[in-house]
Chain A
């Protein structure tokens, strides 16, 4: 039996040279995409250096990049020792906050009334700045690791909730009608349709949440903590140790970056289809 629309692309021999030229262009474009950001970052560091050296900025106001690099190396043990608790809090908050958000989004999608009652409350809570929520939670939960995790969870919660609700509701209406014609149950509609539709939305929220969780943990450590990157930032500021301050900031930025990359890799592993193509 012949297949009427089978995709057949015989490679024409005459087009080989053009194909090779096209491939070479693609390769160059790929290198450009990697090179350009590197140029940007290098340029920024060079500018920083030039400003600090040219205007003779005193070290306790802003250190030179070289001083920061030296501190990063010399104090790597202390920095890493303080990075670990922050990473743990951020990760814990990330997991708790996002799981809670997905659970609440699932409830909201299945009960319009719950959504109507509680969504405004969630929006209200979200409008309180993190730095204002942090002391309240420290008062309630003490000076341990719990308030930091709670703060990280809170800042993750909102973006993931909003995106999950949107994603779970972003179902092709005809796919929904199909499920009704098939007499699908609510849980079948959820697990076979809504969840998959929500995944791209969920991952864009998780990417935001990945860096938000680190911010939450650091802000949590600003209040009375003795260890963690946040505590280091506060101590270094009070000691006018600007090199250590910058080193701590770079450590927290790296942590956010790692979280972000982990989410991107996870997304690539899970979402292997083209959303909105059918």
Chain B
């Protein structure tokens, strides 16, 4: 559980609020983060942050006000002052035209299964050693430069409200390593990424091997300009996670759906919206993701189906949208969903997938995606690392940076085959708070007639 002194302070503040007749939610976020950043084959930066943030939200009738404090929490008076400020914000707020939903922790939760002290305390030296091994092994083999980052840390989340005495607590560790190899004259870039929940989940040898598998194709072949227009594309896991995120934002945000701003707004549950190859769920029990057990109105999170074999199966609602549109909240008052795209029946390995693809583009990562027209699910983004031309079932050349501008419904209706192997893709946001988040996706997805809208002269 949370450090007793801190927990006692929050419980005392909660009881104080309850005694006053104030409806208050208390949410604590505590992180111990450290990061090394690589640049020019060296460590460019090494950081560590220890931060505690307390959010207090107060609701009275249809009025809501909140305050957030990033500080060292040491006294009840400090918390009372923050509570009073949230109360004042609430008192002065404009009333909503609906009855907001107040947070209630449905059942006590104390989840530390995802916590590994060894990862929390992984030293910068240990990170430097692994990176040095990769760099010292691969760098002499060409005109290469390395960059990247390795972020590790622990996150504690604690939530309680004046509705009852229940407390929801979670402590977990996470890490993400990215190593980028850049050829300094030809300017192409390769990338290897690793997601971790525990220390020692990967080693330098695997990273070296992954880079060395790709290097001959890049070294021995000039860049290829794909034709603008429809192309068969074999997406890798990173790109699939990006597409999944775009699908979520374009089609599965309850408010956008209700307001007619989602590409699913014209549909009702039961409609076939994607190819039968596509099944998407939010599954906090999936072993590959970070498994957030509760949300920030205290709901126990459960399996939630969005798309079942291409059929529109459900729409997630946060509490605000649910209250506004008279729906039930679905456990989605949080940023870090545990999205899972189901695997298919295709071969697990990439090699047979290439043979299945025949002649196609391999795009394992998408860079800088956006949705120019969410109501149609139109997205755009460009290929970046490790993107290759597939000819006669084999990788034959790197491709220049190619822009895809297409619609998610088009893409997910043109699926040819899906890998039977699931992998984790770390999609953690590092904006402001440490928020471990990963999607479980097939290791590859083969789609036909993907629209390539532009090709650059660089990689």
Are A and B interaction partners?
Answer: no
Binding site for B on A (CB under 8 A): none
